[in-house]
Each structure stands twice: as C-alpha cells, then as structure tokens.
A = this chain, B = another copy of it.
Amino acid sequence: MGRRVLILGGDGYLGWPTAMAFSRAGERVTVVDNFAKRQWEAELGVRPLFPIPTLHERIRAWREVSENEIELRVGDLTDYDFVESIIDDIRPDTIVHFGEQPSAPYSMIDVRHATYTQANNVVGNLNVLFAIRDRSPDSHLVKLGTMGEYGTPDVDIEEGYLTVQQDGRSHTFLYPKTPGSMYHLSKVHDSHNIHFATRIWGLRATDLNQGVVYGVETDESSLDPRLATSFHYDEVFGTALNRFCVQSVVGHPLTVYGKGGQTRGYLNIRDTMACVRLAADHPADPGELRVYNQFTEQFTVLELAERVQAAGAVMGLRVEIAHTRNPRKELETHYYNAKHTKLLELGLTPRLLSDELIDTMLARIQEHAARIDSATLIQDVRWVPSPQARATERTPA
C-alpha cells in the first residue's frame, strides 16, 4: 500500500490533477473541498473552459479509467472539528494544502473580499496546523505559497531564507516579503504561522513558493474528458499565459498591463505535479520548514504575449497586443532574479515553455472555443479604486 496523502482543495485547477497523479502512483488519496470556488465563479459569472463534472462524478470516472479509489470528504477548513476529525481518521503521511482562495484580483474587489480572503486562508491553515500538532504530529505539510509573496526587491530573491552578517555576528531569517495584494498577503501570513508551528511545535513543513502556472492538461486529465481540470481564462481566476491563449483564439487583443516589463517566474502544470511529488518524497525533518521557489523560467509579461502572438501567427491567428491601463499597482520595469535550484537538485526535469506547447494549448482551446464567454475576459478589479468609485461605492451587508 502506498502512502496516505490528503489533498486539501481537491476540486481545483491544481488540486484535482495532483490527486489523480498521486492516485496513479499508488498512494491512498483523500481529497477535501467545500466547493467555495464554484460559488465564487457563480458570484462573478465566470466558468472554466472545460465542462467540469461534480467532484463525485470525477472520482467515479477516475475509478473507471484507472481502477483507483480516491476518497472524498466535503467540508470547510475553517471548521476546526471537521479538520481535526479528518486528520485524526487518516493520519496522513503527506498533506498537500491547495485549499485557499487563490486569486489576487478576487481579494482586491473590496474590503469584504479582502477580509474574507485573509480570514479564510489564515484560519483554515491554522486549523490544519493545530490538527497536525494534536492528532498527527508526524504528518508532513506541503503548503502552496506563491512567488508573489516576495514582491520585486532590488536584490536577488533567495530560496526562502536570508542570512545577514553583522560585525562578526550572523542570523538567518525567513526571507522578508513585500507582497502585492490582499491574497498574496494572506500567503505571507500563512508562511509566518507555519514557521511558528515548525519552530515551536516541531512540525514538518514544506512551503512551495510557486510561480504562475500555465497549461490545460496533465498526463491524467487527458485520459478522459470527464477528468479535465478547472482551466480559467477570466481576469480574476485565469493566469497570464492561459488568458493570452484564450484571448488569441477569440480574436481579443492580449491584455498586457502597462509596459509589460513585469517579470515573474512561470511553470508548466505538469511541473507543478512533479514538484509537489518531489516535496512529498523528501519530507522536511521534525522542526524544519523547507522552502522551495517552485518555477522553471522567468519571463516578462510582454515576452509571454509575444510568444503567444508568434505561435498564433503560425496557426493563422491574427493576434494583437494591447498595452492596457494596469489595474494593479506594481513596478512595470524592475530588477528580478529569483533563485530556484532546490527542486532541480531533487531531480526536477523542467518542461520549458516551447512554441510546440503553446500550439498544443491553442489547439486544445480552439476545440472548446464555443464555450468561451468573451464578456468575462476583462473583470476590471482595480488595486487603487478611482475617487469616484470610492465615494459612490456602497457596501451591502
């Protein structure tokens, strides 16, 4: 029998493919979700590109296709009794925690979305930490963080820690963070709470500071259309490259914010699967917080747009690039050099962004072009609302 793996947020873009990947590798997988993301989608009137069956149906389809069982527990991580009962029942070897509100624009809609995001993410993660402490202290927590926690400092971004020398003295700190949204802040809060749990309670944890993920499918999701992952192209839940590919297919200009010099780390969704697997295979020691910077390449947003434009041209798509007003407040040209060697040292073989991959994405998206709702491509959530918007904004209870 394989390891017991508990996947929190098992209905999501990354959670569901991760569950299938561990299941196919012979692990005993349990997924948890409260389907909050489906409610947020309904709230904003957006939907994933592929039709996504219920999680119950997907689990049945997975059993048919793979002959493997995935167990489902439905509930909310902010309910401590629920979290404790699951962790007590399963005593997982590994807990992969994707179960948070994952969108920066969603967290910036207004004060209620900001406080909801921080309270939801922080309380859920604290409940997981206390339940591990009290019911399953040997469980290894693999927590999804984000490269966006670091911001864009004028010095290199180290991999999790920063060592400071001073008059013959030295101290190693958690690398200081300068996050760019209420969502990214929630992940910074989580990281501090997890660090405390490793330092004070001796828990084992790995914090994955993940870059921007792109890609429409994984080895498992491509086995059957019912196993598709929840691919978003709207401005709130869709990530940069994914959105550009969908915009290309429907003939919408690629929306590059401002100058487009914003540099970030990126990775293929298949590499997310590989990285989470490597983290689980190399558990932190008791009392240790491992931190990996989980991405494979750095690009500017404009570089990404140009790559998509070029790939589209080959397929006969006329793709324009529009430098739109930046809804975020961020530097549009800046120094950026983030270390990312630890996962390579563990054996990650990156699948770098290739024209062929973009071609495949465009082709896959074209098959479903009829489902694309162009009205949702732009959501217009602004980091700094206009004075008019502030003055007239009503905040219903």
Q: What is A's interface to B at a CB cutoff of 8 Å?
A: 80-81, 84, 110-112, 114-115, 118-119, 122-123, 126-127, 130-131, 133-134, 153-156, 162, 164-166, 169-171, 173-180, 182, 185, 188-189, 192-193, 195-196, 199-201, 329, 335, 383-385, 390, 393, 395, 397
Contact = CB atoms under 8 A, between A and B. Distances in A.
Contact of A111 (B126, B176, B178, B180): B126
What 9 A-B pairs are tightest by C-beta distance, nearest first?
A173-B176, A111-B130, A154-B171, A155-B166, A176-B176, A189-B189, A153-B171, A155-B171, A134-B390
Contact of A176 (B118, B174, B179, B329): B174
24 contacts: A80-B395, A84-B395, A111-B130, A111-B134, A114-B126, A115-B122, A118-B122, A118-B123, A119-B119, A119-B123, A134-B393, A162-B164, A174-B176, A175-B176, A176-B176, A177-B192, A180-B196, A182-B193, A185-B192, A185-B193, A189-B192, A199-B329, A200-B383, A201-B384
A155 B193 CA distance: 22
B115 A126 contact: yes
A342 to B, nearest CB: 19
A165 to B, nearest CB: 8
Q: Which of A126, A133, A153, A176 has the most CB of B within 10 A?
A: A176
A91 to B, nearest CB: 14
Contacts of A185: 189, 192-193, 196
Contacts of A133: 390
Nearest to A184: B196
A178 B161 CA distance: 12
A328 to B, nearest CB: 9
A169 B165 CA distance: 16
A88 B75 CA distance: 39
Nearest to A153: B171
Contacts of A122: 115, 118-119, 122, 189
A334 to B, nearest CB: 11
